[in-house]
């Protein structure tokens, strides 16, 4: 297997998971892959571009901070077909959620049952948590399985209607319910997978402004379970923000 190196930090890529993804894509599309990375850390091929999912690990004992690339997500282009925009959106959502779940399967399980570590010579049980997900706004909506653009409820953390977003009325808007929203997403996805009850799927999507996918990170303890921080974990990457006003999506959550 060819070893890829990052031109910025010299790290070796890919891991076993990424190797299987690359081999699978190569066998299907017969792409000519290169062993170099661009400055934006995107792997190029004739058929695909991949962008990385990176995790910032902080060692509480040694105070060591390390960035680790855990997966690569293919950038899906729309095809020349009827309903190309909607079909491309569905494919992008499905691929993103599957890659995230494949990369964090063990972490999701261990977030509930924990794992043993040694602290100052004594054994303890640790539970991994996702504290912050840095991204731009389109990726935020995709990761959480929510509609983007001019939908009825454009705010991630509350149910403020688009007519009052940014207005004083948004402060008293109802908070988005994690359990109810994820349950509706699971039901809508099941109907879509079995190609049944189209009207019910549309109604579920319109009620919460969901896109039809199920967020993989909802399985992580602390996000989909108490204290239910799934819709409060997002932080906007400063690289994607040109004006301070772009940081504000709704007045209902001043902490964002």
pLDDT at 14 over 70: no
Give the pLDDT of residue 89. Answer: 81
Q: Exposure of 55 by Cβ count < 10 A (0-12 exposed, 13-18 middle, 19+ buried)? A: middle
Q: What does the mean pLDDT of the chain come to?
A: 77
| Residue 171 in this model has a pLDDT that exceeds 80 | yes
| CA gap 44, 56 in Å, rounded | 24
Q: Per-domain residue ranges for the chain?
A: 1-54, 130-256
pTM of the model: 0.72
**For residue 24, with 0-12 CB atoms within 10 Å meaning exposed, 13-18 middle and 19 or more buried, which class applies?**
exposed
pLDDT, greater one: 219 or 28:
219
Work out the pLDDT band at 253, boundaries 50, 70, 90. Answer: low
Q: What percent of the chain has pLDDT over 90?
A: 29
Q: What does the alpha-carbon distance between residue 216 and residue 186 come to, in Å, rounded to a whole number?
A: 11
**pLDDT tens profile 199-239:** 999 999 999 899 888 999 999 999 999 999 999 999 876 66
| pLDDT number for residue 250 | 52
Contact 131, 147 (CB under 8 A): no
CB 21 within 8 A of CB 29: no
What is the predicted pLDDT for the residue at 28?
Answer: 37
pLDDT of residue 242: 52
Confidence class of residue 22 from pLDDT cuts 50, 70 and 90? very low
- Using the predicted structure, report yes or no on whether residue 135 has a pLDDT greater than 90: no
pLDDT in tens, 98-129: 999 999 999 999 999 999 988 888 899 989 88
């Amino acid at each position: 297997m060819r070893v890829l190196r990052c031109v910025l930090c010299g790290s070796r890529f890919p891991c076993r998971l990424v190797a299987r993804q690359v081999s699978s894509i190569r066998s299907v599309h017969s792409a000519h892959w290169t062993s170099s990375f661009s400055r934006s850390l995107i792997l190029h091929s004739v058929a695909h571009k991949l962008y990385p999912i990176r995790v910032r690990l902080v060692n509480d004992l040694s105070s060591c901070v390390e960035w680790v690339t855990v997966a690569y997500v293919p950038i899906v282009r729309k095809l020349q077909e009827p309903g190309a925009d909607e079909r491309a959106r569905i494919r992008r959502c499905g691929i993103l959620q599957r890659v995230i779940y494949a990369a964090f399967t063990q972490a999701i399980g261990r977030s509930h049952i924990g794992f043993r570590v040694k602290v100052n010579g004594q054994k303890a049980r640790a539970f991994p948590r996702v504290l912050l997900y840095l991204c731009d706004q389109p990726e935020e909506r995709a990761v959480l399985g929510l509609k983007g653009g001019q939908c009825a409820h454009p705010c991630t953390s509350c149910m403020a209607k688009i007519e009052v977003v940014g207005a004083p009325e948004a402060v008293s808007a109802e908070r988005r319910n994690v359990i109810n929203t994820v349950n509706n997403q699971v039901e809508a996805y099941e109907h879509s997978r079995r190609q049944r009850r189209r009207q019910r799927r549309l109604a579920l999507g319109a009620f919460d402004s969901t896109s039809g996918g199920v967020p993989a990170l909802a399985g992580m303890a602390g996000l989909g379970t108490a204290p239910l921080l799934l819709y409060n974990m997002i932080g906007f990457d400063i690289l994607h923000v040109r004006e301070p006003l772009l940081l504000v999506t709704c007045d209902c959550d001043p902490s964002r």
